[in-house]
């Protein structure tokens, strides 16, 4: 009996402390988590990663998303300007001590401007928001009116001065090439579009300026490692303008010109009447004419030389001309005309009639339209595909291919470049310094240089991946923007799709622009199908519709 009691006591001494220790371990939680960011600085690329650590726990920080003060998501290639920014990320516990609603989060050793959302703590996730303000100071110096090669690190442009000829009444449309900039080596002028402010009608290349108010919108893109910030001074013809951001690296501004009717010029070079020899008084008296009578008017000498008035007759004959059609410069011989009876048959002129020289217009040999044939296509798409094919819109990449298959990112780059070239009327050039490790395709490098795509990362394009519908809308909209089309859309005034919440922030403007123009339509149940794919034939029809809508 004593042995039994002793055994129970020994077991109790072993089990009770273990239970207590287990309770202590289970109740222990992480007090503080320390997150380290690369310090966001003005002129530096947006950081996309962070690290988190805590004693006794294994943690992971998910992809970091940065937003500006309007909660517009920043791209990976963008750099910080002065302003307010927010980073959003998640901290996931992978093992070790437990998370708690009292777990604090420090970012760069501070809890200032850090907000923690504990709603997903049951899934071992903390959602964190970190706000930061970038001051107006430039960490790496200022540079004004820069020329030559691009610097190795981002530099803020302090002054940018544009000049453009002012429109005059009856003057022609002013093209992009007329827009000049004193910092032309650091930016590219993409487009200068003119609109008539009276009724908001856009001008075309063939239009003339009238007596109205016109507004010009100038789009330009900064070259590598040059940035515009809030204190950059931008002027047009010496007057300050406000610059807005269109897309990553691209900016625009508006300026109004008032065109007036020309005033009457009273100081012309017409010779004074006093310099001419006055005609005899009798010349002002018109005599009574009979048939066949010829009136010879005297020579009038002007300050610019001798001018011989043409011979007139009662029969209304034209001035004497030479075979070349020019008025004869010889002074007519004054003779007394002999009246000719009305019944007489006029003697035919012995002077040979000059045969006008016919000049044949040169024959213009049209460049043959580049057509393709396809292995397969849907019956509902054939008519529009034929139309696109006849217009030379379909890239030869699709020759003998099955157009019902899903389109890849590489193939869609061909489509987007073709759209840019057709609408802008310019040939796209390929980027010489290829940033991608997974492709050397010329059309992809054209799309990159034009600004249609940045790839899926700084070094990857993923040419063989299927494109999503939101990527497709974005690339097409960028192609139109780079071709000079105004693609701005007010998201507060559009009718939202049911899957609006699934759209990436970088694609919303493009989706609602393309759908608003009726070019890319939604699917059933009022959904756009953001993450869905598209076929080759669908993409080619979108290309055809875009060219029909926007090409001049």
| Residue partners of 87: CB distance under 8 A and separation at least 6 | 37, 50, 64, 65, 66, 67, 129, 130, 131, 132
Token duo for residue 474: 């974005």
Mean pLDDT of all residues belonging to the chain: 75
Least confident of 102-111, 162-171, 231-240: 231-240
Q: How many CB atoms lie within 10 A of CB 19?
A: 9
Q: What angle do CA 546, 548, 552 make, to 5 degrees?
A: 105
**Confidence tier at 328 by pLDDT (50, 70, 90):** very low
Beta bridge mates, 222: 187
**All structural domains of the chain with their residue ranges:** 23-134, 142-258, 379-550
Give the helix ranges, DSSP H, for 78-173. none
**Confidence tier at 134 by pLDDT (50, 70, 90):** confident
- Give me the mean pLDDT over the 114-137 stretch: 86
**Confidence tier at 208 by pLDDT (50, 70, 90):** confident
**Confidence tier at 262 by pLDDT (50, 70, 90):** confident
Q: Which residue has the tokens 């034939």?
A: 537
Q: Is the pLDDT of residue 209 over 70?
A: yes
pLDDT value at residue 151: 62
pTM over 0.85: no
**What sign does the CA torsion over 400, 404, 408, 409 have?**
positive
Rounded Cα distance, 370 and 387, in Å: 13
- Give me the mean pLDDT over the 456-474 stretch: 89
pLDDT value at residue 261: 81
Rounded Cα distance, 473 and 479, in Å: 10
Q: Is the pLDDT of residue 18 over 70?
A: no
CA distances to 211, 221, 413, 429 from 446, in Å = 41, 16, 9, 5
Residues 148-179 pLDDT 10s? 555 656 677 778 888 999 898 888 888 888 88
pLDDT value at residue 297: 44
pLDDT value at residue 251: 85
- Give me the mean pLDDT over the 56-61 stretch: 89
């Amino acid at each position: 009996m004593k042995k039994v009691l002793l055994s129970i006591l020994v077991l109790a001494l072993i089990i009770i402390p273990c239970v207590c220790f287990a309770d202590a371990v289970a109740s222990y939680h992480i007090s503080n988590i320390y997150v380290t960011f690369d310090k966001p600085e003005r002129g530096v690329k947006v950081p996309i990663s962070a690290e988190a650590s805590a004693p006794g726990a294994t943690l992971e920080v998910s992809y970091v998303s940065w937003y500006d003060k309007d909660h517009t998501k920043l791209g990976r290639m963008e750099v910080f300007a002065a302003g307010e920014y927010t980073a959003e990320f998640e901290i996931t516990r992978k093992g070790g001590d437990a998370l708690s609603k009292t777990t604090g989060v420090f970012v760069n050793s501070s809890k200032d401007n850090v907000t923690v959302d504990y709603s997903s703590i049951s899934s071992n996730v903390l959602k964190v928001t970190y706000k930061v303000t970038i001051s107006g100071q430039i960490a790496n110096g200022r540079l004004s009116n820069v020329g030559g090669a691009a610097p190795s690190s981002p530099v803020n442009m302090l002054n940018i001065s544009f000049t453009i000829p002012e429109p005059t009444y009856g003057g022609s449309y002013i093209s992009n090439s007329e827009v000049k900039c004193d910092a032309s080596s650091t930016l590219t002028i993409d487009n200068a579009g003119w609109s008539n402010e009276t009724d908001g009608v856009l001008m075309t290349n063939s239009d003339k300026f009238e007596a109205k108010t016109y507004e010009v919108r100038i789009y330009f893109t900064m070259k590598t490692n040059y940035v515009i910030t809030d204190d950059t001074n931008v002027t047009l013809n010496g007057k300050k303008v406000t610059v807005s951001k269109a897309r990553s690296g691209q900016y625009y501004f508006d300026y109004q010109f008032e065109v007036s009717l020309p005033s009457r010029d009273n100081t012309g070079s017409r010779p004074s009447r006093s310099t001419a020899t006055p005609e005899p008084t009798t010349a002002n008296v018109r005599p009574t004419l009979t048939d066949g009578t010829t009136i010879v008017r005297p020579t009038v000498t002007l300050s610019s030389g001798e001018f011989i008035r043409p011979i007139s007759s009662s029969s209304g004959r034209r001035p004497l001309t030479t075979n070349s059609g020019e008025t004869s410069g010889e002074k007519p011989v004054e003779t007394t005309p002999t009246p000719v009876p009305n019944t007489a048959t006029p003697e035919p002129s012995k002077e040979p009639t000059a045969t006008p020289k016919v000049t044949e217009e040169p024959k213009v040999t049209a460049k043959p339209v580049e057509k393709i044939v396809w292995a397969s296509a849907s019956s509902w798409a054939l008519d529009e595909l034929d139309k696109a094919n006849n217009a030379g819109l379909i890239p030869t990449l699709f020759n003998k291919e099955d157009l019902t298959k899903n389109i890849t990112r590489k193939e869609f780059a061909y489509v987007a470049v073709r759209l840019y070239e057709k609408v802008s009327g310019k040939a796209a050039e390929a980027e010489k310094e290829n940033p991608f490790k997974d492709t050397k395709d010329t059309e992809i490098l054209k799309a990159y240089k034009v600004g249609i795509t940045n790839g899926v990362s700084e070094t990857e394009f993923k040419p063989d991946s299927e494109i999503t519908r939101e990527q497709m809308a974005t690339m097409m909209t960028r192609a139109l923007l780079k071709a000079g089309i105004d693609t701005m859309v007010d998201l507060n005034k559009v009718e939202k799709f049911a899957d609006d919440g699934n759209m990436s922030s970088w694609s919303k403007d493009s989706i609602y622009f393309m759908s608003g123009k009726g070019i890319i339509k939604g699917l059933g149940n009022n959904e756009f199908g953001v993450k869905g794919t598209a076929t080759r034939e669908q993409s080619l029809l979108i290309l055809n519709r875009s060219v029909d809508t926007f090409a001049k």
